[in-house]
Structure 1
Amino acid sequence: MQRYFVAAEQFGDTEIRLVGEDAHHAVRVMRSRPGDKFIVSDGQSRTALVEVIEAAPTLIIAEIVEMLSADSEPKWAVTIAQSLPKGDKMELVIQKGTEIGAFAFVPFQSERMIVQYDAKKEAKRMDRWGKIAKEAAEQAHRSRIPAIEPLHSWRELMKSIANYDLALFCYEREGHQAHGRGIRAAVGAWFAGRTEDSHPRVLLIVGSEGGFTDREAIEAEAAGAVLVGLGRRILRTETAGIVGLTCLLYESGEMGGA
């Protein structure tokens, strides 16, 4: 069943309103008419099954039929910190990461970042990313839309590590047989002595096409991040975050793991 996110002020006690692009999509694409039903969420705590009362390309008014439980969110809040990749790769990370269950996204600058950051394009890019996250959250029947933070500098990212319960730094050297640990070992070490109902805030840090420098790895570890590998193969930057997120949600029991 089709799902839409609406602003809190559009979600009333007995009815909701779809406006703008959402109303246009419902009427022109989904062919919604009075009597049709779909699901709406305010992206926070309220989700409802609604029935269309009035339908126009710029406004849909729908009556709330039933309030639904919002139980589609993972119990682990995993934020993907992605060094800004070139082209439209960040769009893929946001789209697929949202579908899988990412809590938020933090694009950042790293030493080997290939793309040239253009501040003039920031607002347009953030708007595009926000739309992609919203559409992906609707498709995946999420109860919330992941937040997308403005581009962070490396120093800003390092300072933010203290805001998380666990920060994992995806470093290709850790994936080689002769080096460190993987995600399962890092998660297991963090959970030692904690209860199973812990709801950790996890930061998953992924490098750009050129990977991370040794200096960045040292600084990340000094800031409190745990260096982890994603296997003995070298993954593309747009693949690494998706793989890491999936591993974490599997370990959380979201996909039958823990």
Structure 2
Amino acid sequence: MVATLFYLDPLPEAGAIAVLDGKEGRHAATVRRIAVGERLVFADGRGGIADVEVVAVAKDRLDAAVLARRTVEPARPRVTIVQALPKSDRSELAVELATEAGADRFVPWQSSRCVARWDSKADKGVARWRAVATAAAKQSRRAHVPVVEPLHRTADTLAFVHGVVAAGGVVAVLHESATVPFASLPLADASELVLVVGPEGGLDDDEVDGLVAVGATAVSLGPTVLRTSTAAAVALGAVGVLTDRWTQRPLH
């Protein structure tokens, strides 16, 4: 039977008592009605895992004995999604789907054709993405919660891409007009893969040219044009097939 996953940071060592309180504790005790004797999995969101057994339940907390501690190494290559801001609810959908598909990091990008404008709301937008990523990681039973970086402008994004390429990473710009197939990317030896996803109106030609100039490759995922909210998840599926990222077993 697969144990239920909850996030707790920091995780106590084996033999100690872990206290799950706050929002997670209330959800476990009141909504999920976790009972004494149940086996759970606690994760710190950075790869740390604790196998626990509930020893006490209160209205808004659980006490659990830590039976064992272990660490889950992140999949390789690490995948970062540079996501041009989608509009309204598609913004959260993009983060949710990509997290469930295995994204390790998100870089929100205010590209020139974005309908959504975070401007003075950048901190709020980043906080919301982090909350969505955490919820989606928990739903998909991930040991690692994706990192969400601060809002990037185009100059920031170009500098970021340049740094990844200089360090030996691969940067792919998902573009409907590209002629290079996604499957041709040299992923076998890459330590990091960055997927650049444009907004609803597509990337500006100058943006694509700028990204290519600093080392990115414009690639096509196939004959159909994907929505900005689903493109990263589809690309991550392809990455799972083309690399060994899908060889990891789910948490138990």
TM-score by length of 1: 0.86
- Alpha-carbon offset, residue 127 of structure 1: 2.7
Counterpart of 2:250 in structure 1 is none
Structure 2 unaligned regions, length at least 5: 248-252
Q: Are 2:102 and 1:101 equivalent residues in the alignment?
A: yes
Deviation >6 Å, runs of 4+: none
Counterpart of 1:194 in structure 2 is none
The partner residue of 1:171 within 171, 175, 178 is: 175
TM-score by length of 2: 0.88
Counterpart of 1:78 in structure 2 is 79
- Alpha-carbon offset, residue 69 of structure 1: 5.2
Counterpart of 1:63 in structure 2 is 65
Counterpart of 1:129 in structure 2 is 129
Counterpart of 2:18 in structure 1 is 16
Alignment-mate amino acid for residue 201 of structure 2: G
Alignment-mate amino acid for residue 97 of structure 1: A
Matched residue count: 240
Counterpart of 2:161 in structure 1 is 161
Alignment-mate amino acid for residue 96 of structure 1: L
Counterpart of 2:237 in structure 1 is 246
Q: Indicate conservation of the 8 Å contact 2:161/2:216, yes or no.
A: yes
The partner residue of 1:232 within 223, 232, 235 is: 223
Identity of aligned residues (%): 30
More divergent stretch after superposition (124-133 vs 164-173): 124-133
The partner residue of 1:37 within 36, 39, 44 is: 39
Q: Indicate conservation of the 8 Å contact 1:76/1:249, yes or no.
A: no
Structure 1 pair 205–31 and aligned structure 2 pair: CA distance change class (3 A):
same
Q: Indicate conservation of the 8 Å contact 2:195/2:232, yes or no.
A: yes
- Alpha-carbon offset, residue 124 of structure 1: 3.1
Q: Are 2:185 and 1:186 equivalent residues in the alignment?
A: yes
Give the whole-Å Cα distance in 2 for the aligned partners of 1:96 and 1:17.
Answer: 30
Structure 1 unaligned regions, length at least 5: 175-179, 192-197
